[in-house]
Amino acid sequence: MPDEHRPLTSQLPYLTTTPGVGGKIKQSPEDFFVEELPAYELSGEGEWLFLLIEKRDLSTPALVDHISDVLGIPRDQIGTAGRKDGFAVTRQFVCVPARAFESADQIETDRLTVLEQRRHGNKLRTGHLRGNRFRIQLRNVSINAAGQTDAIVSELKLVGFPNWFGDQRFGARDDSDDLGLRLLRGERTRRLRKDGLRFALSAAQSRLFNYWGAARIRDGLSHRVLSGDVMQVAASGGPFVVQDVPTEQARFDDRETMLTGPIFGPKMKQPDSEAAEREQLVLNDFDLTPESFELFRRLTMGTRRPLLAFVDDLEATPTADGLQLCFSLPSGTYATSLLREICKDG
């Protein structure tokens, strides 16, 4: 595949036009703090034990492996709502069978602390969170950062930012998506465990979404509703296909609805007309068809994903060595996609 098919964020278009402030993130784990916002209150009763864990410089898969080894719990009996950055300080929930109540503190290390323990009736599963709250320190920002910060923050609050899948979605070597695409084409590959297979196929779906979104932005269509687009009601998440473009453009402009892109799969709500033609071009460019996703149907069911994300609570505060950013994002939205707009070279 040519370079423009790569999903790396460095090769994706920017949405904002205001010059950024430059700067670097993650000079130390403490520069990137993220805290999960749970989707529901815990009941205090039930067969699952939820642990609120603060970890430093430790990935979520490594955390799960550690808990499994120390407590002797199979990995498939350990639940998390999502993966958190490894080189960071993060607070996230992990759930284990309630029988681990008396021994849960044994998992603590110099990089891992159990802040809370509470029972609940249902297992924690991927996506079971409302969102994440971030506190991020930018260092080595440009000398014009003070003048640029208010402008870029104002534009981001107005137009949003691309809801890209971040680089971490594609694996440590940035090649999980290539593996997933080969699998979807029916090519022979190395054998994978189920979690590795799931990750590779998800990375391939993410790559296709980023590719679709990049074309939409480059064509000046990030905020323009097309005939046949699949929109999502902001309040309920309900999807529908656009038939009356002027009416739906007005609703989108008022942020009553969101424009969505494809996470291809047999259960994905299909677009129509011009929007359908654009999504078919994505499959064509990657030598795929809708039937390709039937090969691993249970792992590639498909859905829709908003093209844009909005961050109404973004605050930027100058510090002695840069700029501190505080904001919250919905589940599945990558902070690095927002930071990319802020940190682009002025």
Residue spans per domain, the chain: 40-126, 164-306
- Check pLDDT > 90 for residue 110: yes
CATH number for the domain formed by residue range(s) 164-306: 3.30.2340.10
Summarize pLDDT for 254-298 with one digit per residue, the tens: 999 999 999 999 999 999 999 999 999 999 999 999 999 999 999
pLDDT at residue 171, rounded to an integer = 74
The whole-angstrom separation of Cα 142 and Cα 19 is 11
pLDDT at residue 4, rounded to an integer = 46
What Rg, from alpha-carbon coordinates, does the chain have?
Answer: 21
pLDDT at residue 172, rounded to an integer = 63
- Check pLDDT > 80 for residue 5: no
- Check pLDDT > 90 for residue 238: yes
- Check pLDDT > 50 for residue 2: no
Q: Name residue, tokens 């927002």.
A: 338
pLDDT at residue 148, rounded to an integer = 86
pLDDT at residue 3, rounded to an integer = 44
Handedness of CA 51, 52, 54, 60 (dihedral sign): positive
pLDDT at residue 188, rounded to an integer = 82
Please report, rounded to a whole number, the percentage of residues in the chain having pLDDT higher than 70.
96
Q: Does domain 40-126 have CATH number 3.10.310.70?
A: no
Handedness of CA 70, 72, 75, 81 (dihedral sign): negative
Q: Return the beta strands (E) in the chain as ranges.
A: 22-24, 32-38, 48-56, 79-80, 89-97, 112-120, 129-141, 161-162, 230-233, 239-241, 257-263, 303-306, 308-309, 315-319, 322-330
Mean pLDDT of the chain: 93
DSSP 8-state class, residue 188: -
Please report, rounded to a whole number, the percentage of residues in the chain having pLDDT higher than 90.
84
Active site residue 85: yes
- Check pLDDT > 60 for residue 7: no
Of 31, 85, 177, 229, the catalytic one is 85
Amino acid at 226: L
- Check pLDDT > 90 for residue 340: yes
Q: Which helix (H) or strand (E) holds 253?
A: helix 245-253
Amino acid at 164: W
Summarize pLDDT for 165-224 with one digit per residue, the tens: 988 888 766 688 999 999 999 998 878 888 889 999 999 999 999 999 999 999 999 999
Q: Which of 272, 215, 208 is nearest to 239 (CA)?
A: 272
Q: Which of 158, 128, 306, 333 is nearest to 232 (CA)?
A: 306
pLDDT at residue 88, rounded to an integer = 95
- Check pLDDT > 60 for residue 232: yes
CATH fold match for the domains 40-126 and 164-306: no
Q: In the numeric block, which tokens belong to residue 244? A: 């009356």
Confidence of residue 10 (pLDDT cuts 50, 70, 90): low
The whole-angstrom separation of Cα 136 and Cα 291 is 42
Would the pTM count as exceeding 0.85? Answer: yes
Are 37 and 133 in contact by the 8 Å Cβ rule? The answer is yes
Adjacent-strand bridge partners of 138: 323
Summarize pLDDT for 133-145 with one digit per residue, the tens: 999 999 999 877 7
Summarize pLDDT for 146-164 with one digit per residue, the tens: 778 999 999 999 999 999 9
Q: Which of 202, 184, 190, 180 is nearest to 295 (CA)?
A: 184
pLDDT at residue 151, rounded to an integer = 93
Q: Name residue, tokens 């080894």.
A: 69
Q: Cα angle vertex 25, ends 20, 30, to 5°?
A: 140
